[in-house]
Amino acid sequence: MIELIDIGKVFRNKDIETKALTNINLSVSEGEFVSIMGPSGCGKTSLLNVIGLIDAPSSGQYILDGRLVSDLNERNRTEIRKNNFAFVFQSFNLIDDLTAWENIELPLIYQKVPQSERAKRVDQVLEKFSMKHRASYFPSELSGGQQQRIAVARAVVAKPRIILADEPTGNLDSTQGEEIIQQLIRLNEEGTTIVMVTHSMVHAQRSQRIIHLFDGHVVTESYSRANVII
């Protein structure tokens, strides 16, 4: 599904060149749940942005579903991103002056889904995430865990094939974090491919495979305890 071949990413300004990724070779199969770990500044978010077609790589090839996408222009990358990916962030990224219901509806508006279908799908996903009773609440009226559940609901309402989660439990306590991990596991069990950046080994071990980055390189890959058969 996802294949990265010798991917490099370099950020340049007038005086400085920073290598964020170097010779990344990585494959993710459809239906996998993969975690990416490593110290701050090692390239985790840069890798996630390349996978999600937010950034183009500086070198190498990115093949998605058998199609070379690394050399596409921004317009074509945006179209593929819209039809395949959804993002969940550490900081929730909810819009403060929209209710939970309206935040979830937003990606469907961008996709020009008819209003009656939008209402049906938003209600369904609120029910799925046990947040229907908070539909009319604004983000400031929700706890951190509730805000992240709405953010995940917003990500899945458009029925993406791939969810890219960047530290989705980073701003949550252990109980709230576990709730979000459980939601991601359930989505994965339903067939959604998930790539998650995390600092938490406990959460990474709930995925199927762990990729360790250091200074922009993949240094190890390991299967997590979730895949150990006893």
Average pLDDT of adjacent 10-residue blocks, the chain of 230 residues = 97 89 97 96 96 96 97 93 93 96 95 94 95 97 96 95 96 93 95 96 95 96 61
* Residue 205: C-alpha distances to residues 85, 198, 208, 211 (Å): 23, 10, 7, 11
Rounded CA-CA distance 230/226 in Å is 11
Cα angle, residue 30 at apex, residues 150 and 27 outer, rounded to 5°: 110
Q: Are strands 17-28 and 2-12 parallel, antiparallel or unpaired?
A: antiparallel
pTM comes to: 0.92
- Coil vs helix vs strand at 127: helix
Residue count (the chain): 230
* Residue 77: CB atoms within 10 Å: 18
| Secondary structure letter of residue 152 according to DSSP | H
Terminal Cα-to-Cα distance of the chain (whole angstroms): 29
Dist. CA 179–CA 166, nearest whole Å: 16
The answer to whether 125 and 156 are in contact (CB under 8 A) is yes
Say yes or no: domain 2-227 is CATH 3.40.50.300: yes
pLDDT at residue 230, as a whole number: 31
Q: Residue 167 has which token pair? A: 């530290």
SS3 content of the chain, % helix, strand, coil (to 5): 35, 30, 35
Neighbour count for residue 32 (Cβ, 10 Å): 17
C-beta pairs of 110-118 under 8 Å, 24+ apart in sequence? 110/82, 111/82, 111/158
Show Cβ contacts of residue 56 under 8 Å, excluding neighbours closer than 6 positions.
50, 70, 71, 72, 77
| The pLDDT of residue 226 | 52
Residue 55 identity (one-letter amino acid): D
